């Protein structure tokens, strides 16, 4: 039985559970499908089959009568006419089951994904569509910096991004930590405002043309439903990039004369060690690929030392430094020519929490 459950932040490329906007993943039945094995003796599969109309071409079409609602949004019957094949949201399925003569219990279909898995396997439906519950407590530190009378649309975009990661890592053989998703296309349509008062269901359809468990590019249609009506839809395409190739592609090209200063909240620690192993924690004011400026040392000025910069306890840059001069801005140091690995680490640190600054060091003077 599938119960409401949270999704690991790491799976969604997040560090904190506070940033997770989706939960309660469940697979759903399709709105249309073609089956090579329509007949079965399995009673539960027979029950689900009864939700469909099968035409002469063996097309199985979910039976959902047109509805009239005072709420705004697109009825699912209209969505089915527009889209070739999409998953049936549970908000819609519940309404249909309540009107069917062959009754399902909540545990039989709504809460037990094993039955739907049996149904999909019987009809040889290989792609899976996921239903997710949208999380919104109206107090998110980013999306609710000010009160909103409706759910912020940008919040849907982030929920869609998280849904991409969940769908990819759950239903492909791509492994978390070995690949990343590089979003190349995004088409968002908003049909109505999302209201805080009612639950919002997200349905993720896999429209990837490439078959196989290791796609090089995925295309997902991410639909948002409230009170059984479509209120937003986001179509995304994204290449799947091996992490080592992604790091090369994201490699920053830094000019020798460019100097960078850390942002206020950048998690760095800078340490200078003298030749006799005395250490002093310093404030890193500026840095380039050839020099840096630090605050004064606790043990006084030295002609040469070792500089260590640690970023967030994960990246460590280490190099010999040589005294140039000192003024009101701090102590200016020069580097030896950096080795390739040192330079790559420094660039990784700079692009994570530094901005180019207005000063340059030229002949020991500010320009």
Helices (H), the chain: 43-49, 76-82, 90-99, 113-122, 153-171, 243-249, 340-353
For the chain, the structural domain boundaries read 9-247, 254-366
pLDDT of 2: 42
CB-based burial label for 154 (10 Å; 0-12, 13-18, 19+) = exposed
Tokens standing for residue 32: 């249309």
Distance separating alpha carbons of residues 202 and 131, to the nearest angstrom: 6
Distance separating alpha carbons of residues 239 and 220, to the nearest angstrom: 12
Which residues make Cβ contacts (< 8 Å) with residue 339, sequence separation at least 6? none
Cα→Cα distances 39→42, 48, 59, 119, Å: 9, 12, 14, 11
Task: Name the pTM for this structure.
Answer: 0.76
The CATH number fitting domain 254-366, selected from 2.40.10.430, 3.40.50.9100, 2.30.110.10, 1.20.144.10: 2.40.10.430
pLDDT of 250: 62
Three-class DSSP labels, 168-234: HHHHCCCCECCEEECCCEEEEEECCCECCCCCEEEEEEECCCCCCCCCCEEEEEEEEEECCEEEEEE
pLDDT of 252: 63
CATH code, 9-247: 3.10.129.10
Q: Would you write out the chain's pLDDT as a tens digit for each of its 367 residues?
A: 344 589 999 999 988 898 999 999 999 999 999 988 777 788 888 889 989 998 888 889 998 876 666 678 999 988 988 877 899 999 999 888 877 666 666 556 666 788 899 999 999 999 999 999 998 876 666 666 656 666 777 889 999 999 999 999 999 999 998 888 888 899 999 999 888 888 999 999 999 988 788 899 999 999 999 999 999 999 999 999 887 776 665 666 666 678 999 999 999 999 999 988 889 999 999 999 899 999 999 888 899 999 999 999 989 999 999 999 999 889 999 998 888 888 889 988 998 899 998 555 444 443 4
């Amino acid at each position: 039985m599938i119960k409401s459950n949270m999704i690991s932040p790491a799976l969604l490329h997040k560090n904190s559970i506070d940033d997770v906007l989706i939960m309660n993943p469940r697979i759903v039945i399709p709105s249309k499908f073609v089956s090579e094995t329509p007949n079965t003796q399995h009673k539960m599969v027979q029950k689900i089959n009864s939700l469909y109309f099968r035409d002469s071409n063996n097309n199985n079409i979910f039976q959902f009568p047109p509805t009239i609602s005072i709420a705004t949004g697109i009825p699912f019957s209209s969505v089915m006419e527009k889209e070739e094949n999409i998953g049936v949201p549970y908000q819609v399925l519940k309404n249909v089951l309540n009107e069917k003569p062959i009754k399902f219990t909540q545990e039989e279909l709504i809460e037990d994904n094993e039955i739907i898995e049996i149904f999909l396997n019987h009809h040889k439906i290989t792609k899976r569509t996921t239903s997710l519950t949208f999380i919104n407590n109206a107090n998110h530190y980013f999306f609710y910096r000010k009160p909103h009378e409706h759910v912020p649309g940008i919040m849907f975009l982030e929920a869609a991004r998280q849904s991409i990661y969940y769908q990819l890592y759950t239903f492909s053989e791509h492994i978390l930590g070995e690949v990343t998703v590089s979003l190349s296309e995004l088409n968002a349509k908003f049909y109505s405002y999302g209201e805080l008062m009612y639950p919002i269901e997200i349905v993720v359809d896999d429209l990837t043309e490439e078959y196989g468990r290791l796609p090089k590019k995925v295309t997902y249609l991410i639909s948002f439903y409230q009170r059984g009506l479509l209120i937003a839809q986001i179509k995304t395409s994204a290449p799947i990039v091996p992490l080592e190739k992604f790091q090369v592609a994201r490699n920053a090209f830094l000019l020798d004369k460019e100097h960078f200063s850390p942002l206020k909240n950048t998690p760095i620690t800078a340490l200078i060690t003298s030749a006799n192993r005395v250490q002093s924690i310093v404030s890193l004011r500026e840095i380039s690929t050839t020099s840096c400026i630090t605050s004064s040392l606790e043990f006084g000025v030295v002609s040469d030392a070792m500089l260590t910069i640690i970023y967030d306890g994960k990246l460590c840059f280490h190099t010999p430094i040589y005294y140039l001069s000192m003024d009101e801005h701090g102590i200016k140091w020069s580097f030896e020519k950096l080795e390739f690995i040192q330079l790559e680490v420094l660039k990784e640190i700079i692009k994570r929490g530094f901005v180019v600054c207005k000063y340059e060091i030229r002949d020991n003077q500010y320009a």
